[in-house]
Amino acid sequence: MASYVIAVTGASGASYGLRLIEELLRRGDDVDLIISPSGFLLLREETGFTLAPGGGGGADVAETIRAAFKGARGKLGYTPSDELTSPLASGSALKKTMVICPCSMGTLARVATGVSGNLIERAADCTIKENGRLVLVPRETPLSAIHLENMLKLARLGVAIVPAMPAFYSKPETLDDAVDFVVGKVLDVLGVENDLYKRWTGKE
């Protein structure tokens, strides 16, 4: 099975990150999770997950999240975002696939300029320099010229930009349906087969 680095930052849309983790774990894939301080805040405000980011709470964070997903077969590990001695901070760790979901504009800007102030940004930097697969799921509106220029710069480096933009041709009936559409698109970019959304066939 595959292994992924998933980071959750302080952009609104924490449900996207949780749903992505859930689907990968159910497939039997392993996930190394990093959450920024603002990501913890959004998880609490938007999803009700109250987690302890610091100290020895790493196991508790992983266990709390994994316990919420029935049928999860993969392993879930958690590393604090300030732990720059983590193997994820080194290109030699051979972690080649990373998704930042959701991705704040601050995180996106720092990744675009190579400023690595925390483990999320450093792991993203390593993924780029080691020619791995980096996927960013920005959730912001409206977008300024600064945001767009940063996205363009990263796209030209081979980073996949998958904005959290649910479609409506699949006729979503619930908020979960809208979340699944975006997560399905992320999985498509990763080359992971999924049936999270109804694919357009051109026929009614």
Q: What are the tens digits of pLDDT across the range 13-52?
A: 999 999 999 999 999 999 999 999 999 999 999 998 888 6
Tokens coding 138: 């920005």
Averaged pLDDT of the chain: 93
How far is 29 from 14, CA to CA, in rounded Å?
20
Task: State how far Cα 105 lies from the chain centre.
Answer: 14
pLDDT of residue 202: 76
d(CA 186, CA 135): 8
The pLDDT confidence band at residue 57, using thresholds 50, 70 and 90, is very low
| Bridging pattern class, strands 133-138 and 97-103 | parallel
| Buried b or exposed e, range 59-73, using 16+ CB within 10 angstroms | eebbeebbeebeebe
Q: Strand, helix or coil at 30? A: strand
pLDDT per residue over 73-101, tens digit each? 999 999 999 999 999 999 888 778 999 99
User: What pLDDT is recorded for position 78?
Assistant: 95
pLDDT band at 59 (very low <50, low <70, confident <90, very high): low
